């Protein structure tokens, strides 16, 4: 499906922040994260421009707080131009990335002139006229939309309402400016940071509205690409499944069918990965569009080896049919990357072979900034109900076992509200694990060694049931599972 993109790295704007580049220098900017991706499996760098403001004269506004350090220092030039030149010098593909409806300003304070002057264009700005008359004079930023904090609008009130033609035109004007001014190899529209575009309940009636907007974006990029003599590909970072995308007002299948995007990036913001990514993988491939599956840098805390976890998730994404791995938000938990380490391993299934993995069910991190795209949480599970818990295993462990490469397959089960003498039974893909093989290792956890088969590559269904000496307590629950695949 065209160009090789083993790893796409979205820097999420971190490199420009003063904490990563206190001297506000070009060298510090590139050293922060870009340099350690050079000569690895990172083929594409997606440079986050942020939420994208325009000045009142229609020109690009410097990127909010990211621009302050270089403006005050006076030595740090145009970060977009610097990263474009650095990427092209190393042979790396470079995309500009635009957050389509960033709402950090809902809690950090609104200072964007267009939002302050047009509260009627926001999802939840209708209270402004009576509550915030001082805003039009720019006396102070706006922090409070008047909604309960624990609600979707408590975060999204400050987002643009894309049902309004003025909003779509403002965004289109910005896209034209950004795409014309810099020599990007392509543009990404990030619909997942943050994923709400219409007033609640109005998403379905605006599916065609957003598709029409995408037609305008595609036409704009095609026009610019024609003038510069090479294509201008468009990437879209979207919710993890077609169903969740539709709930958000995004008819992604129609975008694919009508040839509006060249790269599709299904994403979870609130979980480690999502087995239903495969729905978008199959859909994208049906229309000849490569699909890059996103790992959003949510790692299992507080224990575990981050590099093992990164490799494990990448293994799962490849097993779901990904055309490449898309990394998002990694700078905010890693102070430095090891060049030649995991960035040179996760970009292909064959370079992941033989590394230890730790597989877990989909773990969800809730938050109002997830909008409608929160995925189901597998825990807790009541033991007496015997509900199946699914674990995706990306490695071909049966093949590895046949070759004598597997050291051990170890399942750990975390429980709560169980007496110390009570045991559990475990079924793996309808095969019962011998009770004598299940060892209690602490008050709240059990371990057992497994074999392949019945453990296999792909989805594995694990059922935890009351075991020896159990009285079937209704309060007894499973709180976590992890499967270690260790190699010789």
What length does the chain have? 488
> Bridge partners of 188?
97, 235
- CA 32, 106, 370, 212 dihedral sign is negative
Question: Could you tell me which CATH number the domain at 378-487 has?
Answer: 2.60.120
Per-residue confidence (pLDDT) for residue 78, from 0 to 100: 78
189 and 235 Cβ atoms separated by less than 8 Å: yes
Q: Does the pTM of the predicted model rise above 0.85?
A: yes
What tens digit of pLDDT does each residue of 102-132 get? 888 887 788 788 888 888 999 987 766 666 6
HEC letters along 90-149: HCCEEEEEEECCCCCHHHHCECCHHHHHCHHHECCCCCHHHHCHHHHHCCCCECCCCCCC
Could you check whether the bond before residue 454 is cis, i.e. omega within 30 degrees of 0? yes
Architecture of domain 7-101+160-355: Alpha-Beta Barrel (3.20)
361 and 332 Cβ atoms separated by less than 8 Å: no
- Boundaries of every domain in the chain: 7-101+160-355, 378-487
In a 13 Å sphere around the CA of 65, the CA atoms on its Cβ side amount to 11
**Segments of the chain with pLDDT less than 50:** 64-66, 69-70, 72-75, 302, 336, 339, 366, 368
CB atoms within 10 A of CB 464: 25
Query: What distances in angstroms separate CA 34 from CA 14, 17, 266, 292, 351, one per listed residue?
Result: 11, 14, 24, 20, 22
Per-residue confidence (pLDDT) for residue 77, from 0 to 100: 62
Give the Cα separation of 484 and 397 in Å (integer). 11
Per-residue confidence (pLDDT) for residue 70, from 0 to 100: 46
């Amino acid at each position: 499906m065209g160009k090789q993109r083993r790893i796409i790295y979205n820097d999420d704007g971190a490199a420009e922040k003063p904490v990563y580049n206190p001297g506000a220098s070009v060298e510090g900017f590139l050293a922060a994260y870009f340099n350690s991706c050079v000569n690895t499996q990172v083929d594409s760098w997606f440079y986050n421009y942020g939420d994208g403001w325009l000045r009142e004269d229609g020109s690009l506004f410097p990127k909010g707080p990211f621009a302050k350090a270089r403006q005050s220092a006076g030595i740090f030039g145009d970060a977009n131009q610097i990263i474009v030149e650095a990427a092209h010098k190393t042979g790396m593909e470079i995309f500009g990335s635009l957050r389509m409806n960033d709402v950090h300003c809902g809690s950090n304070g609104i200072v964007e002139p267009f939002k302050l002057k047009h509260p009627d264009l926001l999802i939840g700005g209708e209270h402004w006229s009576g509550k915030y008359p001082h805003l039009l004079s720019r006396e102070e930023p706006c922090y409070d939309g008047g909604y309960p904090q624990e609600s979707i609008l408590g975060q999204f009130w400050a987002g643009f309402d894309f049902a309004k033609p003025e909003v779509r035109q403002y965004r289109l004007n910005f896209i034209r400016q950004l795409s014309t001014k810099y020599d990007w190899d392509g543009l990404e529209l990030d619909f997942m940071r943050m994923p709400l575009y219409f007033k609640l309940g109005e998403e379905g009636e605006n599916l065609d509205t957003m598709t029409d907007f995408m037609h305008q974006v595609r036409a704009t990029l095609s026009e610019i690409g024609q003038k510069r003599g090479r294509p201008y590909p468009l990437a879209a970072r979207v919710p993890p499944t077609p169903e969740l995308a539709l709930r958000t007002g995004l008819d992604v299948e129609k975008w694919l069918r009508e040839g509006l995007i060249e790269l599709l990036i299904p994403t979870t913001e609130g979980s480690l990965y999502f087995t239903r990514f495969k729905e978008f993988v199959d859909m994208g491939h049906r229309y000849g569009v490569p699909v890059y599956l996103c790992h959003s840098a949510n790692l299992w805390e507080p224990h575990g080896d981050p590099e093992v976890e990164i490799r494990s998730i990448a293994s799962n994404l490849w097993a779901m049919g990904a055309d490449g791995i898309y990394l998002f938000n990694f700078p905010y938990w890693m102070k430095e990357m090891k060049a030649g380490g995991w960035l040179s391993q996760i970009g292909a299934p064959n370079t992941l072979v033989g590394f230890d993995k730790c597989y877990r069910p989909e773990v969800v991190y809730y938050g109002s900034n997830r909008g409608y795209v929160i995925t189901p949480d597998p825990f807790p599970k009541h033991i007496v109900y015997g509900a199946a818990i699914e674990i995706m295993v990306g490695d071909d462990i049966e093949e590895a076992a046949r070759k004598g490469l597997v050291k051990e397959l170890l399942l750990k089960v975390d429980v709560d509200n169980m007496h110390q003498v009570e045991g559990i039974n475990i079924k793996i893909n309808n095969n019962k694990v011998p009770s004598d093989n299940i060892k209690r290792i602490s008050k709240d956890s059990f371990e057992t060694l497994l074999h392949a088969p019945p453990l296999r590559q792909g989805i594995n269904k694990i059922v935890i049931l009351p075991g020896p000496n159990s009285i079937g307590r209704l309060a007894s629950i499973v709180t976590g599972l992890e499967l270690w695949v260790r190699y010789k």
